[in-house]
Amino acid sequence: MLSRVADSLYWMSRYMERADGILRMLKINYASSQDDIQEFSWMPVLRIFTYMDEEGAVRISHNTRAVLQYMVTDRENSNSVLNIITRARENARSVQDHITKELWQCLNDFYHIVRDEKLDRELHKEDPVTILDVLIKQGMLYYGTLDVTMARGEGFAFLNIGKYLERGVQSADILDVKFSDVNYDFRRTDTIYWKYLLLSISGYELYLKTYRSGFDARNVVEQIVLNDEFPRSILYSVDRVHRYFERLRSERNKEAFQKIDFMIGRILSKVRYSTVESIMAQGLHAYLNGIKEDLYEVGNALNQNYFAYT
Amino acid sequence: MQTSELLNSYSVDPATWDEMYTDPERTGGSSSVERTLDLVRGQYRPVVDFMQQMSIEELNKKEELAKRLFMSQGITFTVYSSGEGIEKIFPFDIIPRIITATEWKYIEDGIKQRLKALNLFLKDVYNNQFILKDGIVPVEMVYSCPHYLREMHGFHVPHDLYVHIAGIDLIRDHDGTFYILEDNLRTPSGVSYMLENREITKRIFPDLLPSNNVRSVTDYPNILHRNLVSLSPRQTSNPTVVVLTPGIYNSAYFEHTTLARLMGVELVEGRDLVVDNHRVFMKTTAGLQQVDVIYRRVDDEFLDPLVFNPDSMLGVAGIMSAYRKGNVAIVNAIGNGVADDKAIYTYVPAMIRYYLNEEPILKNVPTYQLGHPDEREHVFANMQKMVIKRTNESGGYGMLMGHSASDEEISKYKMEILKDPRQFIAQPIISLSSAPCYMNGKLKPRRVDLRPYALCGPEGIQIVPGGLTRVALREGSLVVNSSQGGGSKDTWVLAG
């Protein structure tokens, strides 16, 4: 496979995962903002998902519509869903002959939907959940189409590596910012706060089934970092990156493979053999930051060894 | 029966050949549907009949569906304005252009004959130059052509094939005679529209294609792929064939990706390739992989910065040396522009006689060389009846249509011509045949041309039965180029 093609597939996939994460998170935070929580603020969201300066963020952090508009349809915000989908589509467009026609059309439709000016208007006036649902569904269509139609070759491996790398980083980010917002106070028993955190990454129901004793920050960390059955946990994401990278093993490019395989294996072991206690001992922030940096390094190594073409 | 109204309002210019209607003189005073249908040519009757059974709402819905299908498939081109890309579709008219089996046979024979001669001309002009020595084509005509490349001199291309893919533009005069308007022998585009327009017709008019006995065009990518594989210089069962594109910002990018997908080959950009020891490689995730055949959609000028334009970012440094060493096949051959130059065009009938000892089947449009003083004088005296073109431009750019230009425009253009007369030719304005278009609930005649696509391989020349019909959507316009407000139609060739 061409290095440029692998690069584009990888980034297309990362952008799609990012868009999905942002949309879900917006939906739940919107619900949270309507739940009569006096102190609800969009601050953590703006901090994780945008490059907005502190001052600007403070200014709109209590203006739900402004935040939604900024995060979804703003053309200036380079991390708005509109711009992320545009980038995913640009990547897809340059590798149209490597993704199925169905997948391309699905992504292309997504692009036209999110660019439609009607969407921007509705986001201002109508029920935002309806609009976010339309976009989330389009993302689901993308995942389904990818799963049903794409051949299980090298391209599929790069798509999944991109997807799970992005997801791992995103889960670490969400967890970190949400905890920083309460100053890493593990004694906090504010049920609603944790409930919405879990909801925003589709982990609420699993939490209820796993832990019978109500909300405990430790359990929240355990599920989001260490539960290997939770598809958004860091452990699960890293495990998938590892699994799909294994598929790239070949006689050619052996050295590069072994190097990156070692890096991923080390991260996987690090997460797998952590416990909530060991994480707490190290400090949650330092721990999450370490993992994020390790994952970024994998990205850089892929760039150097697999995607270099210019 | 609103649609019969839609048919009755169809009024054809009496000095024009209409693809659907016979002699328009006879329509005078008639208003009954039967009478109107009688005047529809046989090949169009089933389609007209089919449309008559539909309401305007239904037809509008079909038109809407066609637009949506183009948009959703990304069959679009991007217009950049105020820093933002806007996706546009090339206008598509839902009514097919229909060609009978007899007409097609004639076109097919004519194009094959012409391509045979043009290919021989390229071989000759880059090697022994018999045709120049015998004075059939003037030497200065060839050497003054900017697309004549001395880098190609004395080099034998595989199978002596220069033109692998050709798009020959045909038009019809007022009596229905076909004329060759242009030979496109470099990187003719539009074939993806031939394929996609057909796919759209399948969706908007279910069952209409088989019931009309329309010949299929879907074989095109397979034939092309087979030809490309057969050109591989390396003796291997599975040579690496690639399509070389200038990249996603090229207006024909959709076509490049469609062809790569339909052939199942890699689509590469210049930056994906590297030349090492006179061999071309592509950079893959598993290291370098040798490339055997390149179907390039990059112009000669940008292909190799070491040989041609040194500023080109689209090409591959050293590719020309790999080509000349015979380590890679490039399709179409480099330097073909000398054969589809608009001034050389005049000599194609002479080439056919010279190389093949045959009379040309398809006629040329009479053409005046403005480099020739007598002919220039004649043209200058009759500017209103002429279309003047630059010999090395395409896409409808740099043209002057004498009948619609102002006196000021004409005198300005004359000044341009006098600066370098060799770069201009003139042709009498040919009216172009008209075909029915569906416009705002009515049928309207609009001018069309036809570009069939010919594929030449070691086994011979094949022309897929179909092509691209371009249509001038503006009323009265004779310019069909997409850059000048043209659209396209699905083109049907009927089986026997």
Question: Is B73 near chain A, with CB under 8 Å?
Answer: yes
Cα separation of B149 and B126, whole Å?
A: 9
Tokens of B312: 């080109």
Tokens of B396: 């409808």
> Residue holding tokens 């998170």?
A25
Burial class (CB in 10 A: 0-12, 13-18, 19+), B381: exposed
> Residue holding tokens 């910002």?
B249
Q: For chains A and B, count residue pairs whose Cβ atoms are closer than 8 Å.
A: 68
| B297–chain A nearest CA distance, Å | 15
Report the candidate in A181, A188, A219, A189 with the shortest Cα–Cα distance to residue A203.
A219
Report the candidate in B233, B120, B183 with the shortest Cα–Cα distance to residue B454.
B183
Q: Measured in Å, how far apart are chain A's first and last C-alpha atoms? A: 15
Residue B31 is predicted with a pLDDT of 46
Mutate to test the interface with B, among A93, A97, A104 (most CBs of B within 10 A): A97
| B328–chain A nearest CA distance, Å | 18
Give the SS3 label for residue B295: strand
Domain ranges of chain A: 1-150, 168-310
Question: Is B247 near chain A, with CB under 8 Å?
Answer: yes
Which amino acid belongs to residue B29?
Answer: G
| Residues of A contacting chain B (CB within 8 angstroms) | 1-6, 75, 90, 93-94, 96-97, 101, 104-105, 108-109, 112, 154, 248, 250, 252-253, 306-310
Question: Is B282 near chain A, with CB under 8 Å?
Answer: yes
| B231–chain A nearest CA distance, Å | 22
R_g of chain A computed on alpha carbons: 20
Q: Residue B344 — φ and ψ, nearest 5°?
A: -65, -30
Q: Percent helix, strand, coil in chain B (nearest 5)?
A: 35, 25, 40
What is this model's ipTM?
A: 0.77
Question: Is B416 near chain A, with CB under 8 Å?
Answer: no
Using CA of residue B128, residue B134, residue B139, residue B142, what is the dihedral sign?
negative
The shortest CB-CB distance from A252 to any of B266, B283, B287 is to B287
| Contact in structure between B469 and B76 (CB atoms under 8 Å) | no
Report the candidate in B190, B135, B259, B81 with the shortest Cα–Cα distance to residue B487.
B190
Q: Which residues in chain A are closer than 8 Å to B87, comparing Cβ atoms?
A: 112
Beta bridge partners of B453: B167
| Contact in structure between B126 and B155 (CB atoms under 8 Å) | yes
* Virtual torsion, Cα B275, B277, B281, B283, nearest 10 deg: -80
Q: Which residues in chain A are closer than 8 Å to B272, comparing Cβ atoms?
A: 2-4, 309
Domains and CATH numbers, chain B: 2-88 (no CATH), 234-327 (3.40.50.11290), 367-428 (3.30.1490.270)
Q: Do A112 and B84 touch (CB under 8 A)?
A: no
> DSSP character for B352?
I
Q: Do A2 and B283 touch (CB under 8 A)?
A: yes
| Contact in structure between B174 and B16 (CB atoms under 8 Å) | yes
Question: Is B431 near chain A, with CB under 8 Å?
Answer: no
| B146–chain A nearest CA distance, Å | 32
Question: Is B266 near chain A, with CB under 8 Å?
Answer: yes
pLDDT digits (tens, 9 = 90+) for A121-140: 999 888 999 999 999 999 99
Pairing type for strands B84-89 and B76-81 reads antiparallel
Which amino acid belongs to residue B277?
Answer: N
Cα separation of B27 and B24, whole Å?
A: 5
Residue of A nearest to B74 (CA): A108
Using CA of residue B283, residue B285, residue B291, residue B294, what is the dihedral sign?
negative
* Strand order across the beta sheet in which B287-290 lies: B273-276, B279-284, B287-290
| Contact in structure between B147 and B392 (CB atoms under 8 Å) | yes
Q: Do A250 and B286 touch (CB under 8 A)?
A: yes
The shortest CB-CB distance from B272 to any of A2, A75, A90 is to A2
Give the SS3 label for residue B320: helix
Question: Is B83 near chain A, with CB under 8 Å?
Answer: no
Residue of B nearest to A83 (CA): B84
The shortest CB-CB distance from A3 to any of B71, B260, B284 is to B284
Q: Do B285 and A90 touch (CB under 8 A)?
A: no
Q: Which residues in chain A are closer than 8 Å to B68, comparing Cβ atoms?
A: none
Geometric angle at alpha carbon B225, from B220 and B227, rounded to 5°: 100
pTM: 0.86
Cα separation of A147 and A139, whole Å?
A: 12
Question: Is B286 near chain A, with CB under 8 Å?
Answer: yes
Q: Do A101 and B261 touch (CB under 8 A)?
A: yes
Q: Which residues in chain A are closer than 8 Å to B258, comparing Cβ atoms?
A: 96
**Residue B171: C-alpha distances to residues B163, B188, B364, B429, B480 (Å):** 22, 17, 10, 11, 11
496 residues of chain B, pLDDT tens digit each: 444 666 777 888 888 899 998 865 544 544 444 557 778 899 999 998 888 888 889 999 999 999 999 988 888 777 666 566 777 888 999 999 999 999 999 999 999 999 999 999 999 999 999 999 999 999 988 998 889 999 999 999 999 999 999 999 999 998 899 999 999 999 999 999 999 999 999 999 989 999 999 999 999 999 999 999 999 999 888 999 999 999 988 888 999 999 999 999 999 999 999 999 999 999 998 889 999 999 999 999 999 999 999 998 899 999 999 999 999 999 999 999 999 998 899 999 999 999 999 999 999 999 998 888 899 999 999 998 898 988 877 666 778 888 888 889 888 888 888 988 888 899 998 889 999 999 888 889 999 999 999 999 999 999 999 999 999 998 888 888 776 778 999 999 999 7
Beta bridge partners of B470: B488
Residue A270 is predicted with a pLDDT of 96
Ranges of residues in chain A with a pLDDT under 50 are none
Q: Do B272 and A4 touch (CB under 8 A)?
A: yes
